[in-house]
Amino acid sequence: MKPKFILPILVLFLFFAVPAFSLLNVNGNTGELLAATEQFVSEEPKLVIGRSNSMPVFNAGEEGTLIIPVENLHNGEAKNINVSLVVSDVDKFPFELGKMSLQTSMSSIGGNSSGNAIFFKMKAAPTAESKIYPLGVKIDYSSQTGMSGSASDTIYVKIVNDNKIPLLKLMGIQLENDQLDSGESKTVELKIMNDGELTARNIEVKLAGFTANGLRLDQPLDTFYLKEFKGREFKFAPFKIYADPSMESGTYPLDLSMKYKDESNKDYSKEAKVFITVEGTGPEGQNKKATPKLIIDNYSYAGEYVRAGVVFPLQISFLNTSQGKDINNIKISLSFEENMFSPVNNSNSFFVDNIPAGSSVQRIIRLKPKVDAANKNYNITVDIEYEDSKGTKYTGKELIGIPVTQEIKLLASEIEMPTEAFAGAPLAISVDYYNTGRSLIRNLMIHTEGNFKVKDGNVYIGNLESGKSDYYDVTITPEQEGKITGKIIFDYDDDIGKHYKSEKSFDMQVMKQAAPPMINPAMDMEQNKDPVWKKPVLIGIGLFALGLLGWVIRRKRSRKIEDVSLDE
């Protein structure tokens, strides 16, 4: 070997060999060499869901922390760790989803580590059953080299629920004097208790079993609604009940049904019987103790509806339903929905001295609806105050419904038509129309009738809003000379379905169709000749054109001569 190669080889040997021997001589153990080299080799992380020493336990309705241990089995560091709970069936999930987040994250977990944990704040549903529930857990992560990984497993939690579900019970009724006299009306309060520990929601308490000649409901609704009913709480559901005057003494059953939900929207229902004691009729066939009641047994307003802005008479009949007691000092007051009606030449209240038992009295009050009233039914509330023969005061309230409509106003302009008409010749006529009222015109249809032929005369417009306008045109053909008469007919409805019909008439004189003009060949040839005055003009134009042409030719020729002279 040439000497010049020895020195480079020696340098390479010292560079690689010396570190190797130094590693081999660490404590004189070759195993430590392998351990030292492993620090230069990094594995991809591997995360798994660990096992806790005890099963997590939650009390229903209470909050707690779910701890999920996580281990990294490899020496590579895991980064961007995202942990989520998997909910496969929301209805069977034992925790309140609105009270928690199903995801959480960690920045990193070192290699070969087992002391890591993920935390979830959770609240067990108050209605969750006492048992062990499986929970799916998924972990997504990445390594330092950018590789991604995931792990999934199932953990188990225990729910303990000592709460009683909501349970509504009828505990009795509250009724004045504990009985209802025949011929009178009283408020019966049903005493209801939630015998459970959990809150009931959206409660519907319904009373049924009424008859025409027995107990009757003396209020508009047969259902009492409650938004919330807490555990161990009492509430009262009031129902106003009327006993028919013909009822005999005894105890009469009514049907009670209760529907409600718990805090997890689970449905429940409960049924029970309500027993009402009635003091019936005496020997004369009437109950002298019955409370007198004054009601509206009839009312009228001179038609099926009233017009906005038009005064109308409202007649009301008041009946004393008691068969044994007169009523006295009766004050009746009317109040109006949206202040829709105004009394005319009278007050909104009036006074009646006395109405005997079983008798009625009529009163008339004149009212005027607002001019701009919308088409709908408006309520009148009638408040009644009265006394019996002993001076005991009573009150009552009745409702009257009055339908108010706006007057329909369809205005048509004068019909536009030609000044002359000939038999057999078509002519066009048209008319403009306007909705000048405050109400919508519905189902508007227009057509034309008369002693002539009509082309495309039937037109359906549909709805025409207040303040809108449009036009209608049609082609008619008179068949013979003489006078023709016709009419344009408008059919339409208002908001309450009442039908209207209006007409616009027209007539005109039809002349005989004129004969076509005769053509004279001589006159036609004469007409084709140019007028005398046109000849001088044509001659002048021709001479001017010839002169202009000659000037152009001379100009070109002179230019050529100049060009030739310049070239020479």
Residue range 501-516, pLDDT digits in tens = 999 999 999 998 766 6
Better pLDDT: 519 or 103: 103
Give pLDDT tens digits for 152-166. Answer: 999 999 998 877 789
Q: Quickly count: other Cβ atoms within 10 Å of residue 346's Cβ.
A: 12
The lowest-confidence range among 75-84, 461-470, 547-556 is: 547-556
Average pLDDT score over residue span 197-212:
93
**How high does pLDDT run on average in the chain?**
83
Q: Grade residue 433 by pLDDT with cuts at 50, 70 and 90.
A: very high
In this prediction, residue 476 has a pLDDT band, given cuts at 50, 70 and 90, of very high
With contact defined as beta carbons under 8 Å apart, do 448 and 487 qualify?
Answer: yes
Q: Which amino acid is at 434?
A: Y
Domain range summary for the chain, segments of one domain joined by +: 47-160, 168-279, 294-405, 410-510
CATH topology of domain 168-279: Immunoglobulin-like (2.60.40)
* Cβ neighbourhood burial of 451 (10 Å; 0-12, 13-18, 19+): middle
- Secondary element (H or E) of residue 547: helix 534-567
Structure tokens that stand for 176 in this block: 């004045």
Architecture of domain 294-405: Sandwich (2.60)
Residue 344 has pLDDT above 80, yes or no: yes
**How does 357-382 read in b/e, with b if 16+ C-beta sit within 10 Å?**
bbebbeeebebbbbeebebeebebeb
Query: Considering the domain 47-160 in this protein, what is its CATH number?
Result: 2.60.40.10
Q: Which of 356, 408, 417, 351 is nearest to 384 (CA)?
A: 351
Share of the chain above pLDDT 90, in %: 48
- Distance in angstroms (rounded) separating the CA atoms of residues 43 and 199: 55
242: burial class by Cβ within 10 Å (0-12, 13-18, 19+)? buried
pLDDT digits (tens, 9 = 90+) for 46-68: 999 987 778 899 998 888 899 89
Read off the tokens for 201.
């929601």
Taking CA atoms, 299 is separated from 62, 173, 212, 316, in Å, by 60, 36, 22, 4
> What pLDDT is stored for residue 286 in this prediction?
54
Task: Give me the CATH code for the 410-510 domain, please.
Answer: 2.60.40.10
Let me know if the fold of 168-279 is the same as that of 294-405. Answer: yes
- Residue 519: band (very low, low, confident or very high) from pLDDT cuts 50, 70, 90: low
pLDDT value at 565 more than 50: no
Maximum alpha-carbon separation in the chain: 159
Task: Give residue 164's pLDDT.
Answer: 79
> The pTM is what?
0.39
Instruction: Report how far residue 62's alpha carbon sits from residue 125's, in angstroms, rounded to the nearest whole number.
Output: 8
